[in-house]
Amino acid sequence: MAPRIVHELESKFGSEYGPEEEAAVLRVLRENAPTSGDACIQFEQDFAAYTGTEYARAVSNGTAALFLALLALGVKKGDRVLTTPLTWIATAAAGVTLGAEVDFIDIDPKTYNLDPAQLEKKLTPKTKAVIPVHLYGQCCDMDEILALSRQHGFAVVEDACHALGAEYKGRKAGSMGALGCFSFHEQKNISTLGEGGIITTGDAALFEKVALYRSHCTRVYGKSSKYCSIDETQRPKGKRFWYQDFDDCGYNFRMTDIQGAVGSEQLKKLDDLNAKRIAAARYLTQHLQEVPGLTLPCEAPECKHVYHLYPLQIDAVKFGMSKEDFVYAMLHEHGIKVGTHYIPLHYSTAFRTRGFHQGQFPVVEDIAERLVTLPIHPRLTLEALEYLAGAIRKLSGTA
Ligand SMILES: *Cc1c(COP(=O)(O)O)cnc(C)c1O
């Protein structure tokens, strides 16, 4: 086993930094490293332009983005929020922490995204929001979901945390629903120093709510003019007299300017970083397609898949090894940590104690028996990819 290659296969970090990010950090540091100032506002403008949305507001992480998005829609106790059971817990927790009733929609077995055909059956008049998750970097069937949204009047909040730069019919992830939520956690396709998030929207009223609740619902008024800002950090410059009012009690989910400045540099690199992920996925697909008992990722023709992760199903009989034995052997025989993203959420204690149980979502339950995720990120070399595909072929006995 080659230790350097094994180190390269570590999937802890999803992006990479260079001299541009270093310079950005130093520049803002020398300006006293403020929070949510000019560098954050610049990042928000850059991000809105990149995704083709009207507004963007940077926040502390993706979990805060999802929470604020639902809050802006007015989600509260008595409302229903629907999402997929195959996601990170933050997606479902956003509704729960606002007191709403969260329910799941089973998945499409080919794309692993929530199945719009199952969605319709789960709608009730209380359904306020649906959160499609663009899982592993491939967008959901948005035309179907948006058509149901128009028909039934629920709001669509895209969880685009895996899908930075992904596209659906030429539209960027996060630009199709009422609001889009992104994360810049260290494992995501770009990062703002380990944590970070952003909310996109085309709706001025929703944007105002997001902006208010992100920062204690502050409005700033200039005494000598009608100037009014919805954010304390955008107070009227040069005006001697201004005062602060609070519309309501809100939160502090702000992003710092050092993170914002790094975000703008990362965003310039996003397409290149994604191109490397896509090339790595092509290599894996090409070198694993002959291996019996593997189900490789399926790319929908209308999507640009950005491979946040590379999902793979292991058929125990045809591959000759169960998923559990595969994960164990990859780690102990080859030093490669294979992921198992995610535990179907209705299996978790958090949702079992809320009345969910095995048997409710047969498609995801069946797939979860076989599903693993391979490490994929832009720093993988050809050597590391050869080692990864080679290890899988060895375990299958086809090397
Ligand atoms: C990472 C992630 C989140 C939450 O983002 P954080 O920045 O870690 O809070 C939400 N949903 C999905 C699908 C994610 O992968």
pLDDT tens by residue, 360-398: 999 999 999 999 999 999 999 999 999 999 999 999 988
pLDDT in tens, 267-276: 999 999 999 9
Tokens read off for 63: 């979990």
Q: Can you say whether residue 307 is alpha, beta or left, with left for phi > 0 and alpha for psi between -120 and 50 degrees?
A: left
Residue nearest to atom 10 of ligand 1 (CA): 90
CA of 162 to the centre of ligand 1 (A): 8
- How far from 190 is each of 13, 244, 245, 380, CA to CA, in Å? 9, 35, 36, 15
pLDDT in tens, 27-65: 999 999 999 999 999 999 999 999 999 999 999 999 999
Do the beta carbons of residue 100 and residue 125 sit within 8 Å? Answer: no
Active site residues: 188
The closest alpha carbon to 184, from 44, 282, 49, belongs to 44
Q: Check residues 277 and 226 and name the one with the higher pLDDT.
A: 277
Do the beta carbons of residue 251 and residue 218 sit within 8 Å? Answer: no
pLDDT in tens, 291-303: 999 999 999 999 9
Q: Is the CB of 61 under 6 A from ligand 1?
A: yes
**pLDDT given at position 223:** 67
Q: Is the dihedral of CA 139, 145, 149, 154 positive or negative?
A: negative
Q: Which long-range contacts (CB under 8 A, 24 or more apart) does 359-362 make?
A: 360/104, 361/85, 361/104, 361/106, 361/107, 362/106
- Domains of the chain (ranges; CATH) run 3-8+269-396 (3.90.1150.10), 15-263 (3.40.640.10)
112, 138, 185, 195: residue to mutate for ligand 1 pocket, most atoms within 8 A of CB: 185
Residue 225 confidence (pLDDT) above 60: no
Residue nearest to atom 5 of ligand 1 (CA): 62
Q: Is the CB of 87 under 6 A from ligand 1?
A: yes
Helix orientation angle between 257-288 and 19-30, rounded to the nearest 10 degrees = 160
Tokens read off for 5: 């290659």
CA of 235 to the centre of ligand 1 (A): 31
Q: Is the CB of 255 under 6 A from ligand 1?
A: no
Residue 21 confidence (pLDDT) above 60: yes
DSSP label of 128: E
Confidence (pTM) = 0.96
Q: Is the CB of 288 under 6 A from ligand 1?
A: no
**pLDDT given at position 246:** 92
Q: Is the CB of 15 under 6 A from ligand 1?
A: no
CA of 379 to the centre of ligand 1 (A): 21
- How far from 336 is each of 103, 293, 296, 371, CA to CA, in Å? 35, 20, 18, 16
66, 84, 91: residue to mutate for ligand 1 pocket, most atoms within 8 A of CB: 91
Q: Is the CB of 215 under 6 A from ligand 1?
A: no
Mean pLDDT calculated for residue range 148-172:
98
CA of 66 to the centre of ligand 1 (A): 9
Q: Is the CB of 88 under 6 A from ligand 1?
A: yes
Residue nearest to atom 2 of ligand 1 (CA): 161
